[in-house]
A and B are shown apart, each in its own frame.
Chain A
Amino acid sequence: MIVTRKWLEEFIDLDGISTQEIIDTLNRIGQEVEGYKKIEIPQNVVVGEVVECHKHPNADKLNVCRVNVGDEELQIVCGAKNVAAGQLVPVAKMGAVLPGDFKIKKAKLRGVESVGMICSAKEIGLPDLNDGILVLDNSLGELKIGEYVGKYLNDEIIELGITANRGDCFSVYGIARELSAGLDKELKKFEAEIEELQEGIGRIVSVIKNEAKHSSHLIRAFEGEIKSNLKIDYRLALVEIEAKNDFDKYIKYSMHATGVLLIGANVGECELECKDGVDIFKCYGKYYVGIRNEINIEHTGKYIINANYIDPKYVSEIVFLKNLKTDEYFFRASRGSEPDLKFGIEYFLNEIKLPVFSGDIDLRVDCKDKIINVNSNEINDIIGFEIDEKIVVEILKKLGFVIESISDENIRVKVPEFRSDIENIQDIAEEILRIYGIDNIPSKPLQFTEADRTNDVIENIEFLNEIKLRAVANGFYEAIHFIFDDKERLEKYGFETLDEHLDLINPIAKELNTLRSTLLLQLLEDVQRNKANGYKRIYLFSSGSVYNKKREEFQKIAFVIHGQADYENPKNHGKPEKVDFKFLVDKISQIFGDITLEENDFHPIAHPYQSAKIIKDGKKIGVLAKLHPKVAKDFDIDDTYFAEIELDVVSKIKKLAEDIIRFPKVTRDLSLVVDKNMPYKAIFEIIDSLGIEELKDFYPIDIYDLGDKNSLTIRFILQADKTLQENEINDIMEKILNALKEKGIELR
């Protein structure tokens, strides 16, 4: 919503009030100022009268004009097609500096001297109003030759963000009314100057049927040739409103000024009906009241103007229920247009300045009064500060509320018709608060009862944060992604996708057309992008919601590593090793603690022979794998490994301490000849199943190729509640070796 200072001044006297003060006031009372611009025409641009205008002797497209600028007559060469003798025009005299640092100097054009310039709207810093030079008229004040043009055209533009509840502020008058309350200044009385004809409206307009049920109408008629003027064109341009023709310009102008819904039509027979709950005004076309206007006007010289109003809640509901097509009328009507129809229609007639047929057709219905009982204690409780009842009454009066009665702490008020948003005491409290000024309310700490308000949610957040911090300490950057993904891409790589009947109706883009079931594809994309940006060591993680085909929500965290395992430095001679499977395993175990790996069955984007299940506390919590080379090729990222972990499954069990054994540990190694197809896990299980108490730990420390078999060295850590003797140690190792022999595993 844009207003201009001069337009506001039609409704309220702003003498002596700076525009900054106006802006501050509007912000203070809840009309957010989103933009401000000053329109200031350069100095030395004056009103000139084109006295003579001839073709240039040496140039077809130029004219040589004699222009009276008051104290002198200037010869000016002008290239505009629309220049003509008798016009009043803006003339930039010598010394004027136009926008773009364009200095006006004496010049010779094709041999003819030119002193000054006749300007277009754009050249003097206005919106582009027309082709050619700007022709001035008296609509913005009686023009005086030689006068600085800024006197008529300078203005200030204030752009406001009107909240959805304040339909009454979608007009210059509405904003003036707010300012009147905010500045404590009376509005000017509006008085229309209308030339009335002898002939009555009944002679040329008839309403043959009136069955409108939900709307009020006030109709007048006028005749003559409708011609726009500079004020209308200029102000509509400043407030960025476009119109179809001159009649439309006056309608839009008057709607913007008053907030009253206005439509025009040709005179003749009209009809009002209510069909399927929608009021329709018919007159050579249809106007769905407060919804959309489809009336086309022919230029016959006699017209009607219809000011109308419909209850905003009703019209919003009917449009929603019937899913109706709407236009700008609905925008105004649904937010609450100005109900003072007489004001709207008279403002229009006052601007158009054409003879009006006497009388009107009044189809207004009375609005039911809205009465609210205001208890000032309740107001004070809501605000948290004691505001004197007298002040409350004063504020309400300023805002147009009518005080019906005051008794004890109760004030009975009638809500003004234009405030369709006010319904209860809290609405009233808001009015009091904004006019009294939030700044004048001291802030006050709340007294409350302390309680244990910790819960699973905060524990989960803290747990996730701990994991994130460990990931960061391990060199990972956190990435955050939208929960959307590309369904086609998910399908291509074999990930789960939402069932069709549960998917999004209105995605914002194809790449974001469904909910993701994995975090991995987005991370791979990041790796690709960072690689393209020249990064060689890329470790990323992200966490968040993913969805299965039934659209159930799960929390996951995923990690990817790509490229170098270290940064380039003198120690590695600038050639760090590449990341590998073990590198990621170590990182993940640093982050999640005690994990074990098992061979994984299948994962859609994993290398089939370098893919593991991650087991923690006996449960599968996720996968860890090398990226399948085919996928790596698609993303142009070789040497990439990933892990994806289901956070909902990771347990937060607190570990309990065992007594520390104070006797020394003994280490023994066994080198075995093992079958190439035998996973280490099988050997692990053979030894583990022996249940040897003194065997505290054992793990592989070397593996190498013997041709058809592998050599595997395992290190055993033995410890007991006493110092183990050599023979005891030998017995244990013998036992292990025998068990392995039984399965065909021999000592090397």
Chain B
Amino acid sequence: MDLSDIKNALSLEELETVRVKLLGKKGIISQKFKELKNLSEEERKKVAKELNELKEKALELIAQKRKELEEKLLEEKLKSERIDVTLFNPKPTGAIHPITDTMNKIVDFFTKLNFSVETGPLVEDDFHNFEALNLPKYHPARDMQDTFYFKDGSLLRTHTSPVQIRTMMKQKPPIRMISPGAVFRRDYDLTHTPMFHQVEGLVVDEKGKVSFANLKFILETFLIHMFGDVKVRFRPSFFPFTEPSAEVDISCIFCNGVGCRVCSHTGWLEVLGCGVVDPNVFKAVGYENVSGYAFGLGVERFAMLLNKINDLRSMYEGDIRLMEQFK
């Protein structure tokens, strides 16, 4: 009896035909079983045994072949469904503005160190923006800040310091706060925009408690957090609301302090202003026997350095050419 037809079946249909031919009611094997009755008892036993074995074998081979053919069929189907996945590389859109991103990083750092976040109005008055900050009307340092004024004598805040004045007048020390937000100066050229963003910080506690050394610690920690492994340099400077005051530089992150175009070949980048709060500021808000430090930074400056953005003004034009680089 030849079972090679099973092996040679090329499709499930062919296999079925072979099966019927062998095992169907009129199949060869079935016929052979029917013919058994014509045999002698002894012969019949022998042949029946052979036939049963043959039938078993045939069934097994068919099942095996079916499985094989089914798998082949599935494989062919899957193959026919093949797509070129590389055709579907997505073009994602959407990104947070680098100023927002930078601001968030800064705010996160300080809130994690238990600073509160305070905000205030953009349209301010002379007292909160200048007078209370030791900047009387005729003070020459007012030249440092060209101010937008309104017809009713209000002004657009030139720094976020008025928020500190408002907070001190509203709360009692100890104060531990930052004030992020937009500020305004009448200046518009390649390196200045009439609006930009600041984060300022203020810490006030009992007299003798808060020192310049504390200020140095928090700013060094902060700048290393933001810029990584940089050197931090404090240069004595002047701000009307702090005394002693300092400007803070980091070693240039582009040339590692060797000197390049970005750092004007000095090896240093100025990033912060800070100082011990001037007693006149405390006097203006009615605080006595306190000590404190304050600092302030420009968010755009940080964003430009951290993201290597060269053109300040491009950040205010909703320019997808810039933004899509951050998606």
Q: Which A residues lie at the B interface, using CB under 8 A?
A: 27-30, 32-33, 35, 163-166, 312-313, 316-317, 319-321, 334-335, 381-385, 424, 426-427, 429-430, 433-434, 438-439, 441-451, 453-455, 457-458, 461, 465, 468-469, 471-484, 500-509, 512, 515, 522-523, 525-526, 529-530, 533, 535, 537-540, 542, 544-545, 547, 551, 553, 567, 569-570
Partner of A507, one of B96, B99, B148: B148
With a cutoff of 8 Å between Cβ atoms, the chain A residues found around residue B52 in the complex are none
Q: Say yes or no for B263: interface residue by CB 8 A criterion.
A: no
Q: Are A319 and B318 in contact (CB under 8 A)?
A: no
User: Chain A contacts of B240 at CB under 8 A?
Assistant: 164-165
Inter-chain contact B149/A505, CB cutoff 8 Å: yes
Closest to A330 in B: B140
CB B130 to nearest CB in A, in angstroms, measures 12
Interface size on B, residues (CB 8 A): 90
Asked if A441 and B216 make an inter-chain contact with CB atoms under 8 angstroms apart, the answer reads yes
Interface of B is mostly: mixed
Once the chains bind, are B238 and A163 in contact (CB under 8 Å)?
yes
Q: How far, in Å, is B313 (CB) from chain A's closest CB?
A: 11
Question: B108-130 CB contact bits vs A (8 Å, 1 = yes)?
Answer: 00010011111101110000000
Chain B residues within an 8 Å CB radius of A545: 122, 182
13 further A-B pairs in the complex, CB-CB below 8 A; given A164-B240, A458-B107: A321-B138, A334-B140, A446-B217, A447-B209, A453-B176, A455-B116, A461-B107, A469-B96, A479-B97, A508-B186, A529-B317, A538-B320, A553-B122
Q: State whether B195 touches A484 (Cβ < 8 A).
A: yes
Q: Is the CB of B320 within 8 A of A477?
A: yes
Chain B residues with CB under 8 A of A424: 243, 279
Complex: A166 Cα to B264 Cα, angstroms: 25
Best-buried of A455, A478, A484, A512 by chain B (most CB within 10 Å): A478
The yes or no answer to B151 lying at the interface (CB within 8 A) is yes
Structural contact, A445 and B214, CB atoms closer than 8 A: yes
Separation in Å of the A640 CB from the closest CB of chain B? 14
The answer, yes or no, to whether B220 is at the interface (CB within 8 Å) is yes
- Give the A-B pair count, Cβ closer than 8 A: 263
Chain B neighbourhood of A537, CB < 8 A: 93
Would you call B138 and A458 a contact (CB within 8 A)?
no
Contact between B138 and A505, CB atoms less than 8 A apart = no
Interface contact B94-A484, CB-CB below 8 Å: no
Q: How far is the CB of B19 from chain A (nearest CB, A)?
A: 44
B114 touches A450 (CB 8 A): yes
Chain B neighbourhood of A439, CB < 8 A: 233-234
- B100 is an interface residue with CB less than 8 A from chain A: yes
Given A430-B244, A449-B174, A484-B141 contact (CB < 8 Å)? no
Chain A residues closer than 8 Å to B95, beta-carbon distance = 472, 477-478
B316 within 8 Å of A by Cβ? yes
Chain A residues near B200 (CB, 8 Å)?
A: none
Can you list the 3 inter-chain pairs with the closest CB atoms, starting with the nearest? Answer: A384-B211, A384-B213, A30-B236
Whether a CB of chain A sits under 8 angstroms from the CB of B324 is: yes
Q: Which of chain B's residues 219-237 have a Cβ closer than 8 Å to chain A?
A: 220, 233-237
Contact with A along B150-171 (1 / 0, CB 8 A): 1110100000000000000000
The residue that B182 contacts in the complex, of A500, A506, A530, A544, with Cβ under 8 A, is: A544
Residue from A433, A454, A544 in contact with B212 in the complex, judged by beta carbons closer than 8 Å:
A433
Nearest CB of chain B from residue A292's CB, rounded to whole Å: 16
Inter-chain contact A570/B94, CB cutoff 8 Å: no
- Nearest neighbor of A442 in chain B, beta-carbon distance: B213
B9 contacts chain A at the CB level, 8 A cutoff: no
- CA gap between A186 and B149 in the complex, in Å: 48
Say whether B251 faces chain A, with CB atoms less than 8 Å apart: no
B 285-301 to A, binary, CB cutoff 8 A, 1 in contact else 0: 00000010000000000
What is the CB-to-nearest-CB distance from B216 to chain A, in angstroms, rounded to a whole number? 4
Residue numbers in B under 8 Å from A474 (CB-CB): 94
Q: Evaluate contact between B96 and A468: CB separation under 8 angstroms.
A: yes
Within the complex, what minimum Cβ distance (angstroms) separates A741 from chain B?
48
The CB with the most chain B CB atoms within 10 A, among A321, A508, A538, is that of A508
Instruction: Say whether B96 contacts A472, CB under 8 Å.
Output: yes
Q: Is B81 engaged at the interface, CB distance under 8 Å to the other chain?
A: no
B178 to chain A, nearest CB (A): 10
Residue of B nearest to A424 (CB): B279
Out of A446, A451, A509, A538, which one reaches B203, CB within 8 Å? A446
Nearest-CB residue, chain A, relative to B236: A30
A-B contact pairs, 8 of them (CB 8 A): A29-B236, A317-B138, A334-B140, A383-B213, A426-B276, A444-B211, A448-B174, A477-B97
Tell whether, in the assembled complex, residue A480 and residue B217 are in contact, meaning their CB atoms are under 8 Å apart: no
CB closest residue in chain B, given A560? B318
Write the chain A residue with the least CB distance to B153.
A505
Decide if A32 touches B97 in the complex (CB within 8 Å).
no
In the complex, what residues of A have CB within 8 A of residue B187's CB? 508
Counting CB contacts under 8 A, is B35 at the interface?
A: no
Q: Which residues of A lie under 8 Å from residue B266 when comparing CB positions?
A: 33
A residues near B93, Cβ cutoff 8 Å: 475-477, 537, 539, 567
A530 to B318, Cβ gap below 8 A? yes
- In the complex, chain A residues whose CB is within 8 Å of the CB of B214: 384, 443-446
CB pair A483–B317 under 8 Å, yes or no, is no
Identify B235's interface contact among A27, A335, A502, CB under 8 A. A27
B90, B116, B211: the one within 8 Å of A382 (CB): B211
From B94, B111, B209, B320, A471 is in contact (CB under 8 Å) with B94
- Is B88 a contact of A569 with CB atoms below 8 Å? yes
Q: Contact at A429–B235, with CB atoms within 8 Å? A: no
Complex contact A553–B244 (CB within 8 A): no
- Distance of A433 Cα from B234 Cα, bound (Å): 11
Flag if B217 contacts A503 (CB, 8 Å): no
- The reply to whether the CB of B246 lies closer than 8 angstroms to some CB of chain A is yes
Interface assignment of B82: CB less than 8 Å from any CB of chain A: no
In whole angstroms, what is the CA distance A66 to B276 when docked? 68
B212 and A165 form a contact (CB under 8 A)? no
Judge if B24 is at the interface, Cβ distance under 8 Å: no
Tell me whether B190 is interfacial, beta carbon within 8 Å: no
B245 partner residues in chain A, CB cutoff 8 A: 430
For residue B269, give the distance in angstroms from its CB to the closest CB of chain A: 13
CA distance A657 to B301 in the complex (A): 45
Nearest chain B residue, comparing its CB with the CB of A459: B117
Task: Indicate if the CB atoms of B205 and A502 lie closer than 8 Å.
Answer: no
Residues of B within 8 Å of A163, CB to CB, are: 237-238
In the complex the two chains form, what is the Cα distance from A569 to B143 in whole Å?
Answer: 57
Which residues from B are CB-within-8-Å of A441?
Answer: 212-213, 216
Report the minimal beta-carbon distance from B272 to chain A, rounded to whole angstroms.
13
